[in-house]
């Protein structure tokens, strides 16, 4: 009888506990709707009439005049291939800012690179510079307290794009609002005084700037001056004022001045760390600002178009011509001679394969570089790509996969020892050249997620010089940095590794285990391609 009573008591407790947790979850799911935006502050980029009066603005004007370039028609482009140079450019421009800094990123981490750049933002704000920081909520996970503290500065405003409604247990949103929460802002831009912008593939974290002890990303940004910068600012304003951009103060408990002071002290101490020393030394040694001020910076001047998804893409259908791919199609048309494509996550789908096949039949030479399985930081995406290798090769596409230790070198004008951390490589650059005439650089991957789910941003640069530079580098370096994927005489896949004059052939994906290949094979049968 005692045992029976105890069991009934336990059963009763279990039912009550279940009901309690069920009610708690129902309350959480029903009571955590996103806040209204009717009281959100309004702001826009400062107009060129004001921004050209800053030190950076005057330097940009003098440089264009010195080079006899009409800045109302052409924009100046400097490629940032070296990861340390890419970090230094951001840090130096932030330190030189006088009016505004607008930043839009998918990922920002609180590692050495992230903290050093946060330090530059606080230092700029302390000088009275207006800082607007727009981050994707998924990519800045774990930073709520830091971001709320930054927002406590009277010259810094932080907004989160497409935020999770449940802050403490974000996974709940995947159960209750998957359609929305699965769509992310993948854009990346850094604009100072509405006079200089950096756009490209890099997020803000150690691995993007050569400071990680794990995999280093081979990536590409461009620094831009001229009329295209105002287009970047206007696009930033469009996202900043969209219905998906929520002030951090409406989502997270507010911080106070004491929290801000403590954060400032912590970030200042980061400068003294061993990990920060290479960055600090590179900043001190960089000639970038002096070259700009003394009109010796050497940008390539060209017609540049900004292509960008409408932020409404987060909710599905967009206005006509509201998608980046539609804008690319309108501006580019169809390649006539060549297409050289670099994409870390490459899932062309049947439609993409047919497109490449049609182009090849018209005589267009197509070369593609993506990550090998050993170098891919998202193995699941590789499963979506792997099944298209054979039809791509049968269509005539020249296919290459970056090796784990095969980072493509920076240009001869930059350091050969750019990486501060390890030398393992993973491709992250998103770029392509068309007909030796036009170059794209941005955040867009050739995959379903970039096409249909995430928002993206990039530049279409009409410059034979820059387009041919990418094609030349591809031809000169690719075989030593990547596996050449081919079909052998039996129509089976082979991977060719070129080491100088020596070659080695693999019948399975190089430097991978049977288990890795089996998992990829299993994933390739799952109906998940639209999510990759």
- pLDDT tens by residue, 297-341: 999 999 999 999 999 999 988 888 899 999 999 999 999 999 999
| pLDDT value, residue 64 | 85
Q: Report residue 254 CA to chain centroid gap.
A: 28
Question: Is residue 477 classed as helix, strand or coil in its secondary structure?
Answer: helix
Q: Which of 188, 367, 382, 473 is catalytic?
A: 188
329 domain residue, yes or no: yes
Q: Supply the pLDDT for residue 440.
A: 98
* Model confidence at 216: pLDDT above 80: no
Beta carbons of 439 and 477 less than 8 angstroms apart: no
Are 67 and 301 in contact by the 8 Å Cβ rule? The answer is yes
Average pLDDT over every residue of 89-95: 97
pLDDT at 518: 84
For 222, the token pair is 């461009």
Residue 12 within a domain: no
Catalytic residue check, 430: yes
How far is residue 401's CA from residue 495's CA, in Å, rounded to a whole number?
A: 9
For 454-462, what is the mean pLDDT? 98
pLDDT tens digits, residue range 334-346?
999 999 999 999 9
Last-in-domain residue among 267, 293, 319: 293
Last residue of a domain, one of 265, 293, 321: 293
Task: Choose the catalytic residue: 69, 231, 313, 430.
Answer: 430
| pLDDT averaged over every residue in the chain | 88
Q: How many folded domains does the chain comprise?
A: 2
Active site annotation includes 188 = yes
Which residue pairs, CB below 8 angstroms and at least 24 apart, start in 52-57?
52/195, 54/97, 54/98, 54/99, 54/193, 54/195, 55/96, 55/98, 55/293, 56/93, 56/96, 56/97, 56/98, 56/192, 56/193, 56/195, 56/196, 56/292, 57/193, 57/195
Residue 44 located in a structural domain: no
Spot the catalytic one: 310, 435, 447, 473. Answer: 435
Q: What is the pLDDT of residues 362-391, one digit of tens each?
A: 999 999 999 999 988 787 889 999 999 999
Query: Does residue 9 belong to any structural domain of this protein?
Result: no
* Share above pLDDT 70 across residues of the chain, in percent, rounded to a whole number: 89
Q: Which of 82, 136, 144, 193 is catalytic?
A: 193
Q: What CATH number is associated with residue 259?
A: 3.30.870.10
193 classed as catalytic: yes
The pLDDT value given to residue 161: 98
Residue tagged active-site, from 115, 138, 404, 428: 428
Domain of residue 381, residue span: 306-531
Give yes or no for a contact between 404 and 375, defined as CB atoms under 8 angstroms apart. yes
Among candidate residues 115, 138, 153, 186, the one labeled active-site is 186
Q: Which of 102-111, 166-175, 415-424, 472-481 has the lowest mean pLDDT?
A: 415-424
15 is catalytic: no
| Residue that finishes a domain, picked among 272, 293, 314 | 293
């Amino acid at each position: 009888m005692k045992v029976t009573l105890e069991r009934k008591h336990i059963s009763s407790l279990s039912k009550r506990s279940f009901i309690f947790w069920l009610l708690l979850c129902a309350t959480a799911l029903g009571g955590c709707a996103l806040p209204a935006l009717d009281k959100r502050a309004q702001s826009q980029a400062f107009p060129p009439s004001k921004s050209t009066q800053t030190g950076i603005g005057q330097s940009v004007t003098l440089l264009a005049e010195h080079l006899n370039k009409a800045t109302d028609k052409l924009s100046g482009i400097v490629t940032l291939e070296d990861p340390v140079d890419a970090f230094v450019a951001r840090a130096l421009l932030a330190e030189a800012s006088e009016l505004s800094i607008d930043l839009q990123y998918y990922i920002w981490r609180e590692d050495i690179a992230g903290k050093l750049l946060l330090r530059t933002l606080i230092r700029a704000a302390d000088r009275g510079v207006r800082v607007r920081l727009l981050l994707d909520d998924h990519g800045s996970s774990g930073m709520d307290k830091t971001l709320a503290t930054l927002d406590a500065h009277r010259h810094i405003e932080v907004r989160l794009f497409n935020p999770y409604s449940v802050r403490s247990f974000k996974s709940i949103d995947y159960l209750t609002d998957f359609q929305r929460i699965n769509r992310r802002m993948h854009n990346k831009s850094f604009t100072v005084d509405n006079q200089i912008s950096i756009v490209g593939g890099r997020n803000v974290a150690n691995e993007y700037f050569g400071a990680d002890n794990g995999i280093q990303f081979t990536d590409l940004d461009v620094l831009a001056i001229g009329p295209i910068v105002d287009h970047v600012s206007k696009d930033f304003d469009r996202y900043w004022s969209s219905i998906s951009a929520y002030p951090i103060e409406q989502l997270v408990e507010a911080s106070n001045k004491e929290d801000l002071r403590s954060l400032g002290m912590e970030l200042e101490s980061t400068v003294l760390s061993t990990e920060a020393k290479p960055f600090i030394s590179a900043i001190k040694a960089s000639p970038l600002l002096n070259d700009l001020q003394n009109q010796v910076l050497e940008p390539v001047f060209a017609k540049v178009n900004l292509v960008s998804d409408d932020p409404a893409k987060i909710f599905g259908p967009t206005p006509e011509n509201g998608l980046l791919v539609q804008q690319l199609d309108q501006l580019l048309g169809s390649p006539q001679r060549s297409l050289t494509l670099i994409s870390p996550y490459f899932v062309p789908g049947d439609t993409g394969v047919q497109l490449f096949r049609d182009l090849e039949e018209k005589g267009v030479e197509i070369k593609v570089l993506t990550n090998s399985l050993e170098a891919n930081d998202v193995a699941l995406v590789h499963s979506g790509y792997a099944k298209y290798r054979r039809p791509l090769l049968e269509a005539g596409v020249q296919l290459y996969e970056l090796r784990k230790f095969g980072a493509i070198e920076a240009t001869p004008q930059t350091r050969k020892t750019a990486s501060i951390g390890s030398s393992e490589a993973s491709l992250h650059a998103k770029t392509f050249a068309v007909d030796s005439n036009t170059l794209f650089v941005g955040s867009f991957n050739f995959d379903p997620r970039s096409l249909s789910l995430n928002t993206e941003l990039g530049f279409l640069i009409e410059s034979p010089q820059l387009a041919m530079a990418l094609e030349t580098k591809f031809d000169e370096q690719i075989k030593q940095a990547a596996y050449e994927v081919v079909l052998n005489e039996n129509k089976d896949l082979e991977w060719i590794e070129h080491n100088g004059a020596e070659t080695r052939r693999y019948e399975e994906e190089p430097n991978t285990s049977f288990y890795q290949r089996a998992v990829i094979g299993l994933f390739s049968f799952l109906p998940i391609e639209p999510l990759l």
